[in-house]
Structure 1
Amino acid sequence: MRHVHLATEEDEEDIYSGYNDYNPTFDTEDLDNDTAFQQAVKTSHGRRPPITAKVPGTAAVRPLGTGFGPRVNLSSSMGRPMTGAVQDGAARPMTAVRAAGYTKAGFRGSSFDPLGQSRGPAPPLETKSEDTPEEKIRQLEKKVNELIEESCIANSNGDQKQALEKAKEAGRKERVLVRQREQILSPENINLDLTYSVLLNLATQYSANEMYAEALNTYQVIVKNKMFSHAGRLKVNMANIYLKQRNYSKAIKFYRMALDQIPGAHKEMRIKIMQNIGVTFVKTGQYADAINSFEHIMSESPNLKAGFNLILCYFALGDQDKMKKAFQKLIAAPLGIDDEDKYISPGDDPHTNLLIEAIKNDSLHQMERERKALAEKYIMTAAKLIAPVIETSFDIGYDWCVEAVKTSQYVELANDLEINKAITFLKQKNFTQAVETLKMFEKKDSRVKSAAATNLSFLYLLEKDYTQADVYADLAVTSDRYNPSALTNKGNSLFLNGDYERAAEYYKEALRNDSSCTESLYNLGLTYKKLNRLENALDCFHKLHAILRNSAQVVSQIADLYEMLDDPNQAIEWLLQLRNIVPTDSHALAKLGELYDTQGDKSEAFHYYCESYRYFPSNIEVIEWLGAYYIDKKFCEKAVKYFERAALIQPTQVKWQLMLASCHRRSGGYRTKALVPCFIL
């Protein structure tokens, strides 16, 4: 045995001493000469029990020895090559050390390789076969879901035909899926949710394509299947289809059946169904039943639509007191939006101001504005409807509506109702009452004062009192400088007084405040036309044509401007467009004939002059041209009827009698007398 060399004080200067020494206990090279170890090996101490290995097709072999015993060449006895270490000529050791990858030769020099990567790459993991029935079912189910999704996307994009095709294909594949599941799995494993989704989507697409019979049949399949627990709610969809088909009795029946299927916890859904029932009763003229539905809604969950429909029902029955009560319920219905104070900046905090600016035009605020505008529309329409019948006169009834609105959350709407009252007077040609009503707003706030003054200016323009029109136009502009209607009326007043330059400035200011003010843009084009700035006028009317595509007045102005700019080809093109808009306009047809005549195209000119004469046979210029055309073509007898008509229209004009006499003479009718009027000198 070797002894360890202990370092002494004399060896302190040698700092590397002892590093080459090691404990002989770990030396395995001299184990063959170690008497104690060999004695332990020969005895049964530490020896594993023998293992008998039997290979199929061979006889039993002798027990395998341990790693330290004599080696057995199993490759020769079994008759086949071995893997791993056996192929190297040595039997595979059965000890834990050799099995973990340690060898006597590679313990110090080789790296640790427990996975055996040095012997080549590991075999790939076993992949799941896609040919199994369960995997096929899973893939088919995935395909059905994809088809339903594609159908819904096509429907949202407006491609109803493609959506229906996808829905039908999903139905076919789903039926195949059900058959495969029944063959492989038990019937309890059928995916009912997928079947429900396929049928519901198919019925929806049928309805969207107006294939109502097919949609109803598909809904019936769902409703009659007791395995779908909540399918009874789909009777609402069936009732909607019956309503579209004007089968009102069945629609009411299915609405009520659906109402029985929906529990009381779903209050909003029940209210909507009851509203549909009320609308259906209105369509059938059963106003008493409709009133019961709408009254129930207004007592449980009041809303604007139900309140407005209730007023219509009472108006149909002529019940004045109930109309007043229904109007009060309408203006008391909750609007469901917050006040506008949250959109006002509270201070100089930049973060708060930035947040307020961000939410001023977001989708939520736009929805709130739309809901408020809808509420104002309902209230204004209801007031105009019931005002003439709830009191002895229209103005008294309107005053009652105004007072009712002033005590509600729609206080700002009272002034609009007053202005609407004046406009109603104007429609009734009661100018005195309209002016008196509008003059009441001279002491109101700036917005209402500007609106009233604008209407007063317009009234005086209609009455051709340009002085008063100008006064109220100034008042309207002073009250609200950003009111485009007020600026337009001021420009109109200046235009009628001949001050075209200042009128153009007001029109342009109105357009800066509201670029969609078509009145200002049209009047600006007319002003440039008066100032002989034809290119600017043409630009205005082209912009207006982009906004109002089918405006005959705009197209006529463009054609006239091209004629003034000596471009007859463009003028003809725009007049042809005008003919498509108003094919019976005799003036446009006569203008086309005139332009073709100047171009030397007599045949086209004759065609359009004849068309003009057919729609308006009293245009002297057209009659004269047609008579002269037939004289030039030597058809004097055809020219006679035109000059006879001209003589009837202008009996004091001598030339028509002379033209008649000339036509008769040229055609050989010397005995025919032309009636020539006599003048006493």
Structure 2
Amino acid sequence: MEPRGNSSSLDDPYSGFDDYEHAYDPQNLANDRSFQQAVARSSHGRRPTTSSLAARAPSSAGISIPQSSYGSVSSYGSRSRAGGRTAAGVRNEPARPMTAVRAAGYTSFANKVQAVEAAKAAETKPADTTEEKCKEMEEKVMDVLKESLFEAEKKHFKEALEKAKEAGRRERAIVKYREQHAMVDSMNLDLTFTVLFNLAQQYMNNDMANEALNTYEIIVKNKMFPNSGRLKVNIGNIYFKKKDFNKAIKHYRMALDQVPSIQKEARIRILNNIGVAFIKMGKYEDALSTFEHCLDEKPDFKTALNLVLTAYCIEDVEKMRESFQKLLDVSLEESDDNKIHDKENVLMNQVLNSDSLKQYERQKRSEAERAILTAAKVISPAIAPDYASGYEWCVETIKQSVHAELATELEMSKAGELLRKGDLEGAIDVLKVFHSQETKIASAAANNLCMIRLLQGGEKLVEAQDYAEQALKLDHYNANTLVNSGNIAYLNGELDKAATLYKEALNNEATCVQALYNLGLVCRQQGNLEAALENFYKLHQILLNNVQVICQLAAIYESLEDTAQAIELYNQVNSLAPFDPSILNRLAAIYDSEGDKTQAFQCHYDSYRYYPSSLKVIEWMGAYYIETQFADKAVNYFEKASIMQPNEIRWQLMMASSHRRAGNYQKALELYRTIHRRFPENIECLKFLVRITSDLGMPEAREYMEKLEKVERVKQLRLQRETDSSQGKRHSANSLTGGGSGSAQLGHGPDSANRPMSLNSLRSSSDQPFAIAQRDMKSADFSYEDPLGGGPARPKTGAKASKREDSFEELDDSMLPQ
């Protein structure tokens, strides 16, 4: 179509087709300022620039953008009059490939773009992920802390300390992780405090006071922990345990300043610690004022008891009385809910009486009763001229207080205290007062009276039996009374009745250890060793590692000739009571019977070290050393025995014989002379003197031989007189009973075997007086026997002396240990 001119003809439908307004020329829009301002205010002008969107440009895939009719414009770049892309577009997109070898979209530029996007995403990533990781680490720390606490509750303190240290390491790792990620502001201070506090506690449980003290100091010095100053109480406890009471009081007072006045209970506890520290230091006046202040703030049984004891220390009678009354004024709070219940519903009563609250009330009541009774026992001898008067004042004071029911128990305690002081009659008078009391109290008093009479024994057993019957009438199910009744039957020789009473006591109270022990003794005495073993093994399960029970078991096995079991049990008892010489003696006897001299010697030696006054042990030790040819060591033991029994010549003879065996002939001779001076009629000593002086060629040998002949002659005459006297009695007895010839009957009498001479040689005619014939002394009469037995053989060079030694020495069993 050719362009037409500017002619306006109505007949031409295409007129003005090629005509246009230059204001709408797109080539002039870039220079049109009004148009550019309008575009900037529109949504098109608020789009992102090409540089910010270059990373997401689809041209990276190599797609060409067609140009418009008014110029070349990139899809994400600014329009250019000359056509084509701007510098920003060229910089952000890769150049097009010159050939088709490289596939579109698979260039390395895409990977670089993804890396840039990941870096920007990491920079803009929120801190939620780091915080979650910290929380996970904190949860693991809490788990380790719980394990540490559980181990400490089980008394496994070493394992608890290891867990506490592990928790500390994990917590420090969390702090370091937060510092690396600039998250110090969100640090968990409560967790840090808990970890350090638990670590200090576990140090204390393991007796590591210095480490615990350092840990507490770290907590206290950190101002970021709230109320950490109260832990100075724990620091004070550590110094108190180390007996540094000045520093303990200092830290207690610093902790007291940190506790507000509204927390009275905590302040009272700290003040009580201060008072106890004053008592340890001997400052009783300061302690007294401290405890009085505590009682004014909040009354407590422990504090009141400390006040009474402090007044007792300063020996102030008025303060003791006043403090005891303050102790009785402390009220014991009990809930009334458990007092009202249905008596017919047994299960409900059992539930109400066994719940945790009821148990706590029983515990508090027990503590209160213990404090009152302890205070009464302490001050009773000090507040009155005598013990009974002081106890009477305490009883009357208790009766007028809210704890009136404790007066009866205090009376029973008074009886026990009188028994400990040896005042049996006073205790009996106190116990007789309880006959008018309640059934159980009267039964207990009658049982105590039965026990007192039982201990007195003899004629008092009848009264003991009466009191036992009276106690059983009041309370037939009293196991202690049944045991006492069984003891009375046992002393009277009624073993079957005693066993029946013991069994009845066990039926009423299965844990009555006295009945079980006594039943085992009765079975053992009756010869029923199997039943005795069963009873003692039951008792062994109840009283584990009880020395008396294990000794009974060992003795039963010894009776059954089961020496292996007996030795094992005695060794077990020896480990429990290593200083008991009787146990060692039993072990030594068993080893000796088994032929184990080495173990027997060791047990006897240990027994001698713990109890050197046992004559049986001394005799065995001396005989052992003689047997092993160490006579010089045996002298020491026989010498100690002679000191303990100076009138027993046997020990001195053994000591002299030991000297002779050891080769100390001079000492042996001197000792024999000393023995002869003290016991001039002892034939054995004279025989030793004759032998030694003869061997040494001393002129005294003849003198001692004459003395020996004289002593033997006197002894022979004495024996003849005794024989004649006994013979005369028999003759007179036979004549009175009409018996026949005395020679036929006396020869077969019970004393005929013990008579040194025959009756025919002593018989004489009736018309001639009795005369003693002279007896010729032979060489055999001067021989003697060594009480310790024969010594070792002499060397062959002294054959002559050896023959003589063997000719006279024989072992005298009567002088050796049994």
- TM-score, reference length from structure 1: 0.73
Q: 1:291 is matched with which residue?
A: 288
- Aligned to 1:435, which of 424, 428, 439? 428
Q: Given that residues 338 and 353 in structure 2 are in contact (C-alpha distance below 8 angstroms), is that contact kept between their aligned partners in structure 1?
A: no
**Does residue 395 of structure 1 match 2:391?**
no
1:327 Cα deviation after fit? 1.2
Q: 1:346 is matched with which residue?
A: 342
Question: Partner of 2:357: helix, strand, or coil?
Answer: helix
The sequence identity of aligned pairs, in percent, is: 44
Q: What letter matches 1:191 in structure 2?
A: N
Residues in 1 aligned to 2:611 and 2:247: alpha-carbon distance in whole angstroms: 54
Residues in 1 aligned to 2:246 and 2:619: alpha-carbon distance in whole angstroms: 66
The alignment of Structure 1 onto Structure 2 pairs a total of residues equal to 560
- Aligned to 1:407, which of 400, 406, 409? 400
Alpha-carbon distance change, 474 to 202 in structure 1, aligned in 2, over 3 angstroms: same
Specify every segment of 5 or more residues in structure 2 that has no aligned partner in the other structure, as ranges: 1-55, 69-121, 682-713, 719-818
1:379 Cα deviation after fit? 0.9
- Aligned to 1:592, which of 583, 587, 598? 587
Question: Partner of 2:243: helix, strand, or coil?
Answer: coil
Q: 2:25 is matched with which residue?
A: none
Q: What letter matches 2:428 in structure 1?
A: V
Q: What letter matches 2:133 in structure 1?
A: Q
Q: Tell me the alpha carbon deviations over residues 197-240 of structure 1, each in whole angstroms, 9 at most, x when there is no partner.
A: 34433444444444444444444444344443433333333333
- Aligned to 1:485, which of 480, 487, 496? 480
Question: Partner of 1:269: helix, strand, or coil?
Answer: helix
1:640 Cα deviation after fit? 6.4
Q: 1:533 is matched with which residue?
A: 528
Question: Partner of 2:380: helix, strand, or coil?
Answer: helix
Q: Given that residues 643 and 659 in structure 1 are in contact (C-alpha distance below 8 angstroms), is that contact kept between their aligned partners in structure 2?
A: yes
Greater Rg over alpha carbons, structure: 2
Q: 1:142 is matched with which residue?
A: 136
Residues in 2 aligned to 1:172 and 1:538: alpha-carbon distance in whole angstroms: 57
Question: Partner of 1:421: helix, strand, or coil?
Answer: helix
Q: Which moved more, 1:276-285 or 1:302-311?
A: 276-285
Q: How does 1:217-256 map to 2 (within 5 A)?
A: 217-256=214-253
1:570 Cα deviation after fit? 1.9
Q: Tell me the alpha carbon deviations over residues 595-617 of structure 1, each in whole angstroms, 9 at most, x when there is no partner.
A: 22322333433443444455555
Q: Given that residues 516 and 539 in structure 2 are in contact (C-alpha distance below 8 angstroms), is that contact kept between their aligned partners in structure 1?
A: yes
- Aligned to 1:365, which of 358, 364, 382? 358
- Aligned to 1:425, which of 396, 411, 418? 418
Q: How does 1:28-427 map to 2 (within 5 A)?
A: 56-57=58-59, 58-59=64-65, 134-158=128-152, 159-182=156-179, 184-185=181-182, 188-338=185-335, 342=338, 346-348=342-344, 350=345, 353-427=346-420
Alpha-carbon distance change, 423 to 141 in structure 1, aligned in 2, over 3 angstroms: same
Question: Partner of 1:292: helix, strand, or coil?
Answer: helix
Q: Given that residues 551 and 569 in structure 2 are in contact (C-alpha distance below 8 angstroms), is that contact kept between their aligned partners in structure 1?
A: yes
Q: Tell me the alpha carbon deviations over residues 25-69 of structure 1, each in whole angstroms, 9 at most, x when there is no partner.
A: xxxxxxxxxxxxxxxxxxxxxxxxxxxxx994354799xxxxxxx
Alpha-carbon distance change, 279 to 645 in structure 1, aligned in 2, over 3 angstroms: closer
Q: Tell me the alpha carbon deviations over residues 310-350 of structure 1, each in whole angstroms, 9 at most, x when there is no partner.
A: 111111122212211211221221223236x83675244x5
**Does residue 602 of structure 1 match 2:635?**
no
Q: Which moved more, 1:155-164 or 1:568-577?
A: 155-164
1:481 Cα deviation after fit? 2.3
Q: Which moved more, 1:380-389 or 1:152-161?
A: 152-161
Alpha-carbon distance change, 345 to 646 in structure 1, aligned in 2, over 3 angstroms: same
Q: Given that residues 301 and 327 in structure 2 are in contact (C-alpha distance below 8 angstroms), is that contact kept between their aligned partners in structure 1?
A: yes
Q: Given that residues 151 and 164 in structure 1 are in contact (C-alpha distance below 8 angstroms), is that contact kept between their aligned partners in structure 2?
A: no
Q: What letter matches 1:443 in structure 2?
A: S
Q: How does 1:493-642 map to 2 (within 5 A)?
A: 493-616=488-611, 619-626=614-621, 629=624
Alpha-carbon distance change, 161 to 611 in structure 1, aligned in 2, over 3 angstroms: closer
Question: Partner of 1:264: helix, strand, or coil?
Answer: coil
Q: What letter matches 1:346 in structure 2?
A: D
Alpha-carbon distance change, 325 to 134 in structure 1, aligned in 2, over 3 angstroms: same
Q: What letter matches 1:138 in structure 2?
A: E
Q: Given that residues 519 and 535 in structure 2 are in contact (C-alpha distance below 8 angstroms), is that contact kept between their aligned partners in structure 1?
A: yes
Alpha-carbon distance change, 454 to 597 in structure 1, aligned in 2, over 3 angstroms: same
Residues in 1 aligned to 2:309 and 2:383: alpha-carbon distance in whole angstroms: 13
Alpha-carbon distance change, 358 to 425 in structure 1, aligned in 2, over 3 angstroms: same
Residues in 1 aligned to 2:638 and 2:231: alpha-carbon distance in whole angstroms: 75
Q: Tell me the alpha carbon deviations over residues 248-295 of structure 1, each in whole angstroms, 9 at most, x when there is no partner.
A: 233223322322322233232222222222222222222222223322
Q: Given that residues 137 and 177 in structure 1 are in contact (C-alpha distance below 8 angstroms), is that contact kept between their aligned partners in structure 2?
A: no
Q: 1:24 is matched with which residue?
A: none
- Aligned to 2:438, which of 434, 437, 445? 445
Q: Tell me the alpha carbon deviations over residues 104-149 of structure 1, each in whole angstroms, 9 at most, x when there is no partner.
A: xxxxxxxxxxxxxxxxxxxxxxxx99x9754234323432342244
Residues in 1 aligned to 2:129 and 2:295: alpha-carbon distance in whole angstroms: 56
Q: Which moved more, 1:289-298 or 1:308-317?
A: 289-298
- TM-score, reference length from structure 2: 0.62
Residues in 2 aligned to 1:311 and 1:544: alpha-carbon distance in whole angstroms: 41
Residues in 1 aligned to 2:230 and 2:639: alpha-carbon distance in whole angstroms: 78
Q: Given that residues 147 and 167 in structure 1 are in contact (C-alpha distance below 8 angstroms), is that contact kept between their aligned partners in structure 2?
A: no
Question: Partner of 1:360: helix, strand, or coil?
Answer: helix
Residues in 1 aligned to 2:192 and 2:630: alpha-carbon distance in whole angstroms: 82
Q: What letter matches 1:551 in structure 2?
A: N
1:166 Cα deviation after fit? 4.2
Q: What letter matches 1:564 in structure 2?
A: S
Residues in 2 aligned to 1:199 and 1:269: alpha-carbon distance in whole angstroms: 22
Residues in 1 aligned to 2:436 and 2:485: alpha-carbon distance in whole angstroms: 21
Residues in 2 aligned to 1:223 and 1:633: alpha-carbon distance in whole angstroms: 72
1:457 Cα deviation after fit? 1.4
